[in-house]
Amino acid sequence: MTTNAVVVCTWSDARGDVLEETEAALTLARRTSTALGTDFTWLVVGPLPAEAVDIAQRQGVASLEHIEDPKAAAGQADGFVEGLTQYCAERTPKLLLFSQGFDVRLVAPRLAGRLGAGIVMNAVDIEASDDGALNVTASAYGGDTRRVYALAGTGPALVSLLANAVLPERVDGAPSPTVAPVAVDLASVEERVRVIEAARTEGPRLEDAEIIVAGGRGLASPDNYKLVEQLAEALGGLPGASRPLVDEGWVDSSRQVGLTGKITRPGLYLAAGISGASQHMAGCAAAKSIAAINTDPDAAIFRYARYGVVGDCLEILPELIRAAKQGS
């Protein structure tokens, strides 16, 4: 049995995109395990997806493990924490790497508490030093700064990797991983938090959108958000928003882009009346291209933008809607 391994932990999910985010974590884990000279394991909680073996192979995973117990599923925090505690007691991994998502924000820190383990969230990179210590670079102040944390000690270190921080890289010619189920005993676990009304997933997710048109406080009134929605529709994209619009109740919180909202990665992010605060950019800086409309030529958003339009978005958005509908 392997000990001291670098373990990437993910849940399997009906959505393929969860696996896509996983590949970034697998790439970073492979680099770390190579630097440390330790084994590289991918632990999937839930049924093993059909493509997992292929993904594991192209990421150079040596051993693919899975915990089938439905009590450890995503959202079952007590079951997951207990299951992983048992796993860590048996395997004593060196590093447990998560791909940061909504559930991870809760269960990874809880697991750290249960294990008494060091943890770093919002990680963007890991470097292993010669003495085996892990130096984790993480985003702080909404992205204004990066902090480097040293995780020393014996117990497992827990790290949660920010979405879009690492580009997945494949390896050629790696052998097929060994595949093995891992048994955990969750018979005595009773979830203490009960879901009374589940969140209803509504339509396509911002995280998957190729085009996002986002509006900010520069729209000046809730009515004007319609322009953002109309342009998004005309371009075949989705509408997003900065946090003040959510705080003011103009739009639903599922539209919020940023540090505490959605972390997106569209081809095009068109921002209208958004200043470009770091906490907002944390959710869209990974876009391939950002186009920004702002009355202030010194607005921070132009630092991140590929294209800038200095002007009143209330005048330009209607014209963009017209131009978009005209076709090429």
Ligand X SMILES: Cc1cc2nc3c(=O)[nH]c(=O)nc-3n(C[C@H](O)[C@H](O)[C@H](O)COP(=O)(O)OP(=O)(O)OC[C@H]3O[C@@H](n4cnc5c(N)ncnc54)[C@H](O)[C@@H]3O)c2cc1C
Question: Where along the sequence are the contacts to ligand X (CB under 6 A)?
Answer: 142, 216-218, 242-244, 256-261, 273-275, 277, 279-280, 283, 293-296, 299, 312-314
Q: Taking CB within 5 to 8 Å according to partner kind, which of another protein, ligand X, none is near residue 294?
A: ligand X
Which CB sits closer to ligand X, 145 or 295? 295
Which CB sits closer to ligand X, 239 or 261? 261
Are the C-beta atoms of 119 and 97 separated by less than 8 Å? no
Q: How far is the CB of 175 from another protein (least distance, A)?
A: 35
Residue 184: C-alpha distances to residues 24, 80, 143, 285, 313 (Å): 27, 10, 38, 40, 56
Q: Is 242 exposed, middle or buried (0-12, 13-18, 19+ CB in 10 A)?
A: buried
Q: In terms of residues, how long is the chain?
A: 328
Q: Taking CB within 5 to 8 Å according to partner kind, which of another protein, ligand X, none is near residue 149?
A: another protein
> 197 is written with which tokens?
């009304």
Q: How far is the CB of 316 from another protein (least distance, A)?
A: 5
Residue nearest ligand X (C-beta atom): 258
Q: How far is the CB of 300 from another protein (least distance, A)?
A: 5
Task: Return the number of other C-beta atoms located less than 10 Å from residue 116's C-beta.
Answer: 9
Are the C-beta atoms of 115 and 94 separated by less than 8 Å? no
Are the C-beta atoms of 168 and 26 separated by less than 8 Å? yes
Q: Taking CB within 5 to 8 Å according to partner kind, which of ligand X, another protein, none is near residue 289?
A: another protein
Q: Taking CB within 5 to 8 Å according to partner kind, which of another protein, ligand X, none is near residue 171?
A: none
Which CB sits closer to ligand X, 169 or 229? 229
Q: How far is the CB of 74 from ligand X (least distance, A)?
A: 22
What are φ and ψ of residue 175, in 5° steps? Answer: -70, 160
